[in-house]
Amino acid sequence: MKEVDETTWATLRRFRFDPEILEMIRGRLAVSESTVSALPGPVESASQQDLFSLPPQESTEGKALAAEGRNAMRSGLVGVVVLAGGMATRFGGVVKAAVEVVPGHSFLRVKLSDIQHAAIAVNANLPVFLMTSFATSDEIRRLMRDMILPQVPIEIVEQSVTMRLTPLGQVFHDALGRPSLCATGHGDLLPSLRVSGALDRFRAKGGKVLLISNVDNLAARIDPRIIGAHLRAKKAITVEVVKKEQGDKGGIPARVAGQLQIVEEFRLPPSFDASTVPYFNTNTFVVDAEAVDRDFAMDWFTVRRKIDGREAVQAERLLGQVTAFLPTQFVVVERHGPEGRFLPVKDREDLQARLPEINEILRNLGLHNSRNASSDNLWKI
């Protein structure tokens, strides 16, 4: 590819660009995506019996699950993954992890503060793996230089990169004439953990389970009940789901050829009405480290985006698809309120709308408002 400059090549080499993936996507542009993403069998909604509702914290069962989870944390079995990759486009080109949700507290700082609080509570280390991308890694590394977090050893794991294509299969160039690069989706997490050696190192130290959540979901805190529920179910994967609200779209719990898994709505057959399924995936998981320490034949999906006013095609993998390969438990969690666990923030409008709930999370973390929260939302430790 003669049109690729040396600076771009350096990024492609650093972030494990695979030209075979690009050629595969180029070949797919002549094929219907519905054919490529077809499911391997009939689809049925998950039944109520397929879902486990997380018991309240103060219930007898909730306390029992929390005790199991805390014991696992205290025994060094638990690690945490924070998904902080992507393209840094939703906040005007600023890396989301670095965006201050309130002055002095970025998304990343709040997530790591929660993990630190949990580690202190059980008097044990909670290792953290931050998945970054070519667009976010350097800024997150800079942020980490200013953070001192006892009991929270942090390792950065970089996901891979690819190039966008035009609908005709040519390399898509940005407004400056450079090849347009893109991250490969959160489905790149598991191979990135393996290729980097991070998963090996975690397991070698006795690590057994990993909690995974998005950096922009501040409600997905470290809850020992979730760990306890995962361990008790003895399934390779636990997926948190919530009740849908208006406008929600995403992966749903369903059975494909009888197997319980996450199915993305765009993969459903036309005869299946996704609106009849009342729950959807929050992209918060607990996984067994041993079970995910292998290759999975996960699909590459083509995604069309508007870049500089023009249509571009990029390739992504979706983490939820790993549930098609391993036994999975679906846990229904609260969406709102003091036990709410789903508060995604996609852009600045979302951030403003969710500030009251974010303020409550900060209070629960021991961060207190220096002024009235309704005035300017200034916080301090």
CATH number, domain containing residue 29: 3.90.550.10
CA-nearest of 223, 215, 217, 221 to 143 is: 215
Q: What parts of the chain have a pLDDT lower than 50? A: 368-381
For the chain, the residue count is 381
What's the rounded Cα separation, in Å, for the pair 185 and 214?
Answer: 12
Q: What share of the chain is helix, strand, coil (3-state, %, to 5)?
A: 35, 25, 40
Q: Is residue 228 part of a domain?
A: yes
Say if 205 falls within a structural domain: yes
pLDDT in tens, 175-205: 888 999 999 999 999 999 999 999 999 999 9
SS (H, E, C) 63-76: HHHHHHHHHHHHCC
Question: Which runs of E-coded beta strand occur in 154-226?
Answer: 154-158, 161-163, 181-183, 209-214
Query: Hey, CA dihedral for 152, 155, 156, 160, is it positive or negative?
Result: negative
Extract the tokens encoding 313.
């095609």
Domain that holds residue 319: 6-371
Q: Is there a domain that residue 361 lies in? A: yes
Number of structural domains found in the chain: 1
In a domain, 13, yes or no: yes
pTM beyond 0.85: the answer is: yes
pLDDT for the residue 45: 94
Structural domain contains residue 380: no
Euclidean distance between CA atoms 22 and 25, whole angstroms:
5
Residue 215 lies in a domain: yes
pLDDT score for 375: 29
pLDDT on residue 379: 31
| Alpha-helical segments (H) within the chain | 6-14, 19-28, 33-36, 60-74, 107-122, 137-145, 189-195, 198-204, 224-233, 348-364
pLDDT digits (tens, 9 = 90+) for 246-299: 888 889 999 999 999 999 999 999 899 999 999 999 999 999 999 999 999 999
* 163 falls within a domain: yes
Strand partners, 131: 83, 157
pLDDT at res. 381: 33
Residue 348 lies in a domain: yes
- Residue 367's beta-bridge partner residues? none
Looking at beta carbons, which pairs linking 11-14 to residues 24 or more positions away fall under 8 Å?
Answer: 11/134, 11/161, 11/181, 12/161, 12/163, 12/181, 14/134, 14/158
If you compute the radius of gyration of the chain from its CA atoms, what whole number of angstroms results? 21
